[in-house]
């Protein structure tokens, strides 16, 4: 990094000691750093330093305003800002972003962080033209969860994953900017229908796509199933999944 340039990094992370360590590493390297404990603080700092911030370095899960929401609000006001997400920070299985989106898995050694920050600042273009659609994939079958996530990330979607409905409901309550939930129906605990009703009750604009290998006629006997508009029989092809996803996100 050119020492004379002092790029300004807006950094948001909930945990206080990792926040202090990361800020210190960046400052020791010559970066100017604004540190926030939450997305709401990051937005406040951004608005006090608007158009001077070079990079948003943010965790996804933050106490009040999550990192994705903060990113969307900031880029709406400063489209040329660059972003680096901390992946695996707080979220049960982390956030998988499409390849073009820069992420760094936590915890990370200082040299990895510095290399990634340099790479993003020097080589990456701001992601201004791309809308970041976030999809929560809920499946207790890890192989199927991985397959679904892979199809989605390879086609430009950001993916959060949860292994149970309870975990998904917690994530959906925490991350404001989930655009779509793709969930199995039959789980050991609460059902996918329960999850869809939970999200619907929050009155947010989040669509739900339910997936199951059970016969539709059998599923119709489950309370609440007939009210769910989108259902995809399992097994499914990537094309069938992507068609449903596009339709729901465009709706």
**Residue ranges that bind another protein, judged by CB under 8 A:** 16-17, 19-20, 23-24, 27, 32, 34-38, 41, 44-45, 48
Decide whether 51 or 221 has the Cβ nearer to another protein. Answer: 51
Both tokens assigned to 125: 């273009």
Of 28, 1, 35, the C-alpha closest to 118 is 1
Decide whether 33 or 132 has the Cβ nearer to another protein. Answer: 33
How near is the Cβ of 66 to another protein at its closest, in Å?
Answer: 17
Decide whether 19 or 144 has the Cβ nearer to another protein. Answer: 19
How near is the Cβ of 62 to another protein at its closest, in Å?
Answer: 12
Cβ contacts of 127 within 8 Å, gap of 6 or more: 75, 82, 83, 100, 101
Decide whether 42 or 96 has the Cβ nearer to another protein. Answer: 42
CA 168 to chain centre: 13
Identify any residues that bridge with 10 across adjacent strands, giving them in sequence order: 34, 56
Q: Are 112 and 85 in contact (CB under 8 A)?
A: no
Q: Is 206 in a helix, a strand, or coil?
A: coil
Residues, the chain, total? 251
How near is the Cβ of 64 to another protein at its closest, in Å?
Answer: 12
How near is the Cβ of 37 to another protein at its closest, in Å?
Answer: 4
């Amino acid at each position: 990094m050119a020492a004379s340039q002092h790029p300004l990094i807006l950094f948001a992370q909930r945990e206080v000691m990792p926040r202090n360590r990361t800020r210190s590493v960046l400052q020791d390297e010559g970066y100017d750093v604004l540190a926030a404990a939450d997305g709401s603080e990051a937005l406040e700092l951004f608005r006090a330093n608007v158009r001077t911030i070079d990079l948003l370095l943010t965790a996804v899960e933050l106490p009040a305003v999550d990192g994705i929401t903060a990113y969307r609000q900031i880029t709406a006001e400063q489209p040329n800002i660059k972003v680096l997400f901390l992946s695996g920070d707080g979220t049960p299985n982390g956030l998988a972003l499409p390849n073009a989106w820069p992420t760094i898995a936590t915890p990370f050694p200082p040299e990895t962080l510095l290399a990634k920050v340099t790479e993003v600042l020097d080589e990456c273009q701001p992601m201004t033209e791309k809308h970041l659609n976030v999809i929560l994939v809920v499946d207790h079958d890890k192989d199927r969860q991985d397959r679904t996530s892979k199809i989605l990330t390879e086609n430009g979607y950001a993916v959060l994953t949860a292994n149970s409905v309870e975990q998904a409901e917690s994530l959906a309550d925490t991350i404001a900017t989930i655009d779509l939930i793709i969930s199995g129906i039959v789980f050991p605990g609460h059902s996918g229908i329960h999850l869809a009703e939970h999200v619907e009750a929050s009155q947010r604009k989040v669509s739900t796509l339910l997936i199951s290998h059970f016969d539709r006629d059998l599923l119709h006997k489950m309370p609440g199933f007939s009210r769910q508009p989108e259902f995809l029989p399992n097994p499914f092809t990537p094309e069938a999944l992507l068609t449903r996803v596009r339709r729901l996100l465009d709706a």
